[in-house]
Chains A and B, each alone.
Chain A
Amino acid sequence: MDDLRELYQEVILEHVKNPRNKRTPADANRHAHGHNPICGDAVEVHLKINGQGVIEDVAFEGRGCAISVASASLMTEELMGKTEAQAKALFETFQEMCTKDDAKISKDIDEDALDRMRVLAGVRAFPMRVKCATLAWHTMSTAMAQKDEATTEQDDIGA
């Protein structure tokens, strides 16, 4: 049960009940749709990035499991006001945290942000769930690159 308690911490459950920035901003200028064919989870990420490459607004819509919703919600809070380069560094660090015990942490990220993101690092103990945690981030990264579709994988699996 300890792994489970770490995975489903209060913070995560709270984000699931009250997701932040779950909306579609009218003035967003980058969008992407992310989809996990294994579970059918889907997420839309909307970004408003200004001429200086600063994320002025970030929001999401979608349905999915607790991990994917909490992750999307947390992500929007972290990205607000960051530059594209900072967003990329956050994504890379977050991916490391979700998959490795000795995650490489980008030096440019402040401790508080790291602590907030670490809430989801419990998925390390659940390899089947890592994609749930990273779906919104992959989709955000696709939106930044101005592609339309992100999918965690192409395959469908049986039965």
Chain B
Amino acid sequence: MSEATGAAKIAPGDNSTLAFDVERARADFPILGQEVHGRPLVYLDSAASAQKPRQVIDAMSHAYETCYANVNRGVHRMSQLTTDAFEGGREKVAQFLNAGSADEIVFTRNATEAFNLIASSFGRAHLGAGDEVVISELEHHANIVPWQLVREQLGIVLRVAPIDDAGNFLLEEFEALLGPRTKLVALTHVSNALGTVVPVKQVIDLAHGRNIPVLLDGCQATPHFAVDVRALDVDFYIFTGHKVYGPTGIGALYGKKDLLNALPPYQGGGDMIASVSFEKTTFKDAPHRFEAGTPPIVEVIGLSAAIDYIAALGQENIAAHESGLRTYAEERLARVPGVRLVGTAREKASIVSFVMDNAHPHDIGTIVDRAGVAVRTGHHCAQPLMQRLDLAATARASFGLYNTRGEVETLAEALESVSEIFG
């Protein structure tokens, strides 16, 4: 239903002949025509939330205008069409992650809700006092706080895998944390604050060698490169729609089918039940067991259009473009007086965090904003990581498929003016 017009411009498989054309891609994003403070918007905050292409916006309004009803209810035509579009979105997400079946995709409101779902349901099924869950110093609060809530309820123990000062994940130290009480490894795939890509294949092999399942936070991986949950053999994988150029209000949890079906429901309500009487209710199988109530229908349709859009541009092309930008930005920013890069891991996604000698990140953010440049400043919802690095905050430029070298230059020049003001 979402005719991805981007597909007409750069067909999948055509990438060898048609190099990635960033100007064409930019034309798909209406917001990039906006000005802030009289300057063209330079949006370098895609790690917080990505902008939306016309194809996604249109797919959603098209749904509301032509094909909308509640799903899985009633026999009428509109409900059936909408259910088809919604379940088609599940298929699309399954393909996006290369899952074995659409039944392995659970829709949530965002990634955070997916973490709470797993913490609550996995906790009730498999965790008791003294059992251990291994996370890392790189985690976003979304993969810390839900486990702390479980810790309060069930008395589990959280173990934290360390990083080095450059932000590299330390595999040996991680392995040393795995023990007889370890029941789950829950790690980020890519750090939102530093850009570190965690060696997740090795992590999974080490954990599976001890029969420990692995949950990965793919929020910052899925926007940047192709993820194959079967090749990884990961047990649970979470991402969020708004960071992959899709709408807000939609997240997804992948889980191996037998693992999902072994978990109790998260919330109760309509749509997730097989039968209800006042004495006893039986639940549907996954994924519906975990989707109580009316789901984010049009958000799934929007996410589906976003996945089409990314596929049409080619994930390898996006990755190559972003990797070039990131390398260029790191070189260019390092030449600005007083700038120090934070997070220089061997493998990184297109996220560049930095601090300046004399200017606090908050002041940096305010000054570059007046040049039209949007960067994130603060602790990036990773306060334990900031404490580990002995920083209160950083400034972070994160790149999406629509960013250009010229925009990096605008940022660098704005930082030079910060440097002038603060001397």
| A128 on the B face (CB < 8 A) | yes
Distance to closest chain B CB from A8 (angstroms): 5
Which residues of chain B come closer than 8 Å to A129, judged between CB atoms? 362, 366
The answer to whether A159 and B49 touch (CB under 8 A), given A3-B370, A39-B378, is yes
Q: Is the CB–CB distance between B370 and A1 below 8 Å?
A: yes
| A98 on the B face (CB < 8 A) | no
Which residues of chain A come closer than 8 Å to B423, judged between CB atoms? 13
Which residues of chain A come closer than 8 Å to B360, judged between CB atoms? 64-66
Give the contacts of B342-368 with A (CB-CB under 8 A).
359-363, 366-367
- Residue with the greatest number of chain B CB neighbours at <10 A, chosen from A3, A42, A159: A159
Q: Is the CB–CB distance between A7 and B366 below 8 Å?
A: yes
Q: Is the CB–CB distance between B381 and A40 below 8 Å?
A: no
| B377 on the A face (CB < 8 A) | yes
Give the contacts of A59-93 with B (CB-CB under 8 A).
63-67
Distance to closest chain B CB from A22 (angstroms): 15
Which residues of chain B come closer than 8 Å to A158, judged between CB atoms? 48, 112, 381
Contact of A159 among B362, B380, B392, B421 (CB under 8 A): B380
| B47 on the A face (CB < 8 A) | yes
| A132 on the B face (CB < 8 A) | yes
Q: What CA separation (Å) do A100 and B362 show in the bound complex? A: 22
Q: Is the CB–CB distance between A67 and B377 below 8 Å?
A: no
| B422 on the A face (CB < 8 A) | yes
- What is the 8 Å Cβ interface bit string for chain B, positions 249-287, against chain A (1 contact, 0 not)? 000000000000000000000000000000000000000
| A96 on the B face (CB < 8 A) | no
Q: Is the CB–CB distance between A132 and B362 below 8 Å?
A: yes
Q: Is the CB–CB distance between B383 and A40 below 8 Å?
A: yes
Question: Can you name the residue of chain B whose Cβ is closest to the Cβ of A62?
Answer: B392
Q: Is the CB–CB distance between A41 and B362 below 8 Å?
A: yes
Contact of A4 among B47, B370, B377 (CB under 8 A): B370
Q: Is the CB–CB distance between A66 and B422 below 8 Å?
A: yes
Contact of B392 among A4, A16, A63, A156 (CB under 8 A): A63
Q: Which residues of A does B touch, CB under 8 Å? A: 1, 3-4, 7-8, 13, 16, 38-42, 63-67, 126, 128-129, 132, 156-159
Q: Which residues of B does A touch, CB under 8 Å? A: 47-49, 112, 141, 192, 359-363, 366-367, 370, 376-381, 383, 386, 392-393, 421-423
* 26 A-B pairs (CB sep. < 8 Å): A1-B370, A3-B370, A4-B366, A4-B370, A4-B421, A7-B366, A8-B421, A13-B421, A38-B378, A39-B361, A39-B362, A39-B392, A39-B393, A40-B378, A40-B383, A41-B392, A65-B363, A66-B360, A67-B362, A129-B366, A156-B381, A158-B112, A159-B47, A159-B192, A159-B376, A159-B381
